[in-house]
Amino acid sequence: MQVETFSTLQEASGAVHDRAQFLAGGTILMRAVTYGDQSFDTIVRAQQVDRSIGSDAGGLRIGAGATMADVLASRDVDFLHPVARAIGGPQVRNMGTVGGNIFARNPYGDFAVALLALDAQAVMADGRTMPLGDLLATRERPGGLVQAVTIARPESGTFRFRKVSRVKPKGVSVMSIAAHLKRGDPRVVFGNMAPTPTRSVGAERALANGTDAGAIAAACSACLEGLAPADDPLATEWYRREVAPVHLKRLLEEGARY
Ligand SMILES: Cc1cc2nc3c(=O)[nH]c(=O)nc-3n(C[C@H](O)[C@H](O)[C@H](O)COP(=O)(O)OP(=O)(O)OC[C@H]3O[C@@H](n4cnc5c(N)ncnc54)[C@H](O)[C@@H]3O)c2cc1C
């Protein structure tokens, strides 16, 4: 294993290819190294990473190098605290980053589920900006490093997150659900119900005119549209399909979390 260290994320971005992986917090990557993963032979590092969190002209900006602990320490993103708190234990939250979570495969990626529900934009190291959904759809192909994500602050009471796990408090997700209940244009995103975090188009359609009991019932009936859950050691496809509407109903009926 070779390690290449660069000063900036931009320089590191140019050195990433399909056998060279970028190292952020390393909670996934270093485990792969320890297990003898042969799919890559080079680790790329950057000395300066963006772990700032704050407001900018377009809304809120979260550096890809921000850890889950950084998120929990920032009042600017208090609505994301339940999401960051649901990820791993203290050691994982101290090291695991927002950027790494975007590229984390199932059963991980809970933070990316929330970001997709918030219509996040990814700011790439080369300055390009793209919707997070597009990045998630193409993330298996190396396309440069993520510098930061931007989101608009949701109106109070409109953002919800729920993680479903068998082991409490820090088991991995059987599924996670994030909803941003914007009137007219709601977002409902499931994690671990498809290869990447995925919008539930059926639920979003049903919730477009509000969240009364009828709309919630319709959203739960239609929530599997667009999803493709897998059988894995955490749960069968059948189980995931059975319980997804139950958990969505609980998420939609519960009071605001912030
Ligand atoms: C015990 C344990 C429990 C966990 N529990 C959870 C959990 O409950 N929920 C959850 O979602 N995750 C969980 N994880 C997974 C992981 O800790 C998090 O997903 C974390 O956010 C990954 O970030 P990282 O910085 O450690 O990624 P790394 O391991 O450094 O990198 C992961 C991948 O992302 C790529 N990458 C990292 N940063 C960037 C960037 N800026 N641009 C482009 N590519 C990048 C890397 O090249 C690599 O391929 C857990 C892990 C462990 C070990």
pLDDT interval class at 57 (50, 70, 90): confident
Closest protein CA for atom 2 of ligand 1: 88
CB of 50 closer than 6 angstroms to any ligand 1 atom: no
How many folded domains does the chain comprise? Answer: 2
One domain, residues 143 and 40 = yes
Whether ligand 1 lies within 6 angstroms of the CB of 107 is answered as no
Grade residue 255 by pLDDT with cuts at 50, 70 and 90. low
CB 104 less than 6 A from any atom of ligand 1? yes
In tens, the pLDDT along 4-45 reads 999 999 999 999 998 999 999 999 999 999 999 999 999 999
User: Is residue 207 a part of any domain in this protein?
Assistant: yes
Which residue from 152, 163, 47 is spatially nearest to 101, judged by alpha carbons?
163
Q: How far away, in angstroms, is 146 Cα from ligand 1 center?
A: 13
Check residue 256 and give its pLDDT: 47
Q: What is the CATH number of the domain that holds 64?
A: 3.30.465.10
Residues 206 and 113 in one domain: no
Q: Which amino acid is present at 164?
A: V
Is 163 a domain residue?
yes
Ligand 1 pocket check for 192: Cβ under 6 Å: no
Residue 177 pLDDT more than 60? Answer: yes
* pLDDT one-digit tens code per residue, 87-135: 999 999 999 999 999 999 999 999 999 999 999 999 999 999 999 999 9
Neighbouring C-alpha atoms within 13 Å toward the C-beta of 169: 8
Q: What does the pLDDT read at residue 254? A: 83
pLDDT digits (tens, 9 = 90+) for 142-169: 678 999 999 999 999 999 999 999 988 7
Residue 258 lies in a domain: no
Residue nearest to atom 12 of ligand 1 (CA): 108
Same domain assignment for residues 53 and 117: yes
Which domain-ending residue is among 151, 182, 217? 151
Gap between the Cα atoms of 131 and 68, Å rounded: 21
176 Cβ closer than 6 Å to some ligand 1 atom: no
Read off the pLDDT of each residue in 70-94 and give the average, rounded to a whole number.
Answer: 97
Percent of the chain predicted with pLDDT > 90 = 90
Q: Which atom, in ligand 1's list, is nearest to the CA of 144? A: 43
Closest CA to 230 of 221, 220, 222, 240: 240
Q: How does residue 1 score in pLDDT terms, banded at 50, 70 and 90?
A: very high
Task: Say how far apart CA 51 and CA 64 lie, in whole Å.
Answer: 6
Choose one of 88, 116, 151: the last residue of a domain. Answer: 151
Rounded CA gap, 104 and 151, in Å? Answer: 20
Q: Are residues 43 and 100 in the same domain?
A: yes
Tell me the pLDDT of the chain averaged across its residues. 94
Q: Give the pLDDT score at 168.
A: 81
Please tell me whether residues 10 and 47 are part of one structural domain. yes
With a 6 Å cutoff on the Cβ, whether 172 touches ligand 1 is yes
- Residue 35's pLDDT is 96
Domain shared by 80 and 170, yes or no: no
pTM over 0.85: yes
106 alpha carbon – ligand 1 mean position (Å): 11
Q: Establish whether residue 84 lines the binding site of ligand 1, counting it when its CB lies within 6 angstroms of any ligand atom.
A: no
Nearest CA to ligand 1 atom 13: 108
Q: Are residues 168 and 237 in the same domain?
A: yes
Asked which of 90, 124, 151 is the last residue of a domain, the reply is: 151
User: Checking DSSP bridges between strand 146-151 and strand 129-131, what pairing results, if any?
Assistant: unpaired
Q: Are residues 146 and 187 in the same domain?
A: no
Does the CB atom of residue 97 touch ligand 1 within 6 A? yes
Structural domain span for residue 16:
2-151
